[in-house]
Amino acid sequence: MPIYEFRCTKCGHKFAKLSPLGETGANLNCPSCQAPAPRRVMSGFVANNPDSLYGSRGDSCTGCTAKNCSACKH
């Protein structure tokens, strides 16, 4: 199950909830003010393992053919 973020349309409270895939918020209530149907908001992505982004040494463009992208550390 994914974790989705929602924002209340009444009070603006933002919260995250472990929800079934595709949850829209239509059946939820705001945990702060109990208003119905908070809106799902776009969440950021965080990678916990730098090796997954920069290769096994953490400083190379392993898997990248350009070798000059802005994600490279060198």
Interval 25-35: pLDDT, tens: 999 999 999 99
CB 39 within 8 A of CB 45: no
CB 33 within 8 A of CB 13: yes
Non-local CB neighbours of 40 within 8 Å, separated by 6+ positions: 4, 5, 6, 23, 24, 25
**Distance between CA atoms of residues 10 and 70, nearest Å:** 40
The pLDDT value given to residue 47: 64
The pLDDT value given to residue 70: 62
The pLDDT value given to residue 5: 95
Question: Position 30: which residue type?
Answer: C
pLDDT confidence band for 1 (50 / 70 / 90): confident
Joined together, the tokens standing for residue 46 give 């965080």
pLDDT digits (tens, 9 = 90+) for 34-60: 999 999 998 776 666 655 555 444 555
pTM: 0.58
